[in-house]
A and B are shown apart, each in its own frame.
Chain A
Amino acid sequence: LAKTTQPISMDSYEGQEVNITCSHNNIATNDYITWYQQFPSQGPRFIIQGYKTKVTNEVASLFIPADRKSSTLSLPRVSLSDTAVYYCLVVQYSGAGSYQLTFGKGTKLSVIP
């Protein structure tokens, strides 16, 4: 099982760019890197996924170096509504076209006015 390590918490002021780094040293060749966001009393919500290099969507960017042993989620110009827990997952191939999603403890991001 690929274990992930990310900071327990982070604080940021509104309007700043936030970078959350996750390490996953034993990631396997078929595994993907995925980030989810979770607000209190709600289920996690998919943010972004990548395999290598850089991926960008309307919400965030994901940077993955060549060795894939870490990844960085970048949130541009955060607002108060971005206060949430962010989970880094290594989505592991478990055979027969199936993937397993294993959550860690996540990073609690607090955006300050």
Chain B
Amino acid sequence: DTGVSQNPRHKITKRGQNVTFRCDPISEHNRLYWYRQTLGQGPEFLTYFQNEAQLEKSRLLSDRFSAERPKGSFSTLEIQRTEQGDSAMYLCASSPRERNTEAFFGQGTRLTVV
């Protein structure tokens, strides 16, 4: 399967701990997106990379959140000092240069902060 891969699939952490998620996009897709989704809601945009450059960040992305895509391939999303309100599904998507209106999503990482 050459789709978008996210790890881990599930993460349970104690409040105040730091967590890091990884996303491996489809090979050669130059655009990579992070979204957050809570129960009953649609995915909310967090941030977007074009190659290694982070071009856009949502106001939802507080200073506890940081995302990187160091070599323009995989990306990581780190949440520092987690809070219970951070509990959500974190989705990664990628899109190709020639069809950048279509995003391919991974299966997400479900974070539970206890």
Query: Which A residues have a C-beta under 8 Å from some C-beta of B?
Result: 32, 34, 41-46, 49, 87, 91, 94, 97-106
User: B residues within 8 A CB of A103?
Assistant: 35, 42-45
User: A residues within 8 A CB of B104?
Assistant: 46
A45→B42 contact, CB < 8 A: no
B102→A43 contact, CB < 8 A: no
A42→B101 contact, CB < 8 A: no
A46 to B56, CA, bound (A): 22
B101→A44 contact, CB < 8 A: no
A32 to B107, CA, bound (A): 25
Closest Cβ neighbor of A44 among chain B residues: B105
A-B contact pairs, 30 of them (CB 8 A): A32-B101, A34-B101, A41-B89, A41-B110, A43-B4, A43-B91, A43-B105, A43-B106, A43-B107, A43-B108, A44-B105, A45-B105, A49-B101, A49-B102, A91-B101, A94-B56, A97-B100, A98-B31, A98-B48, A98-B50, A98-B55, A99-B101, A100-B45, A100-B56, A101-B45, A101-B93, A102-B45, A103-B42, A103-B43, A104-B42
A98 to B53, CA, bound (A): 13
B77 within 8 A of A: no
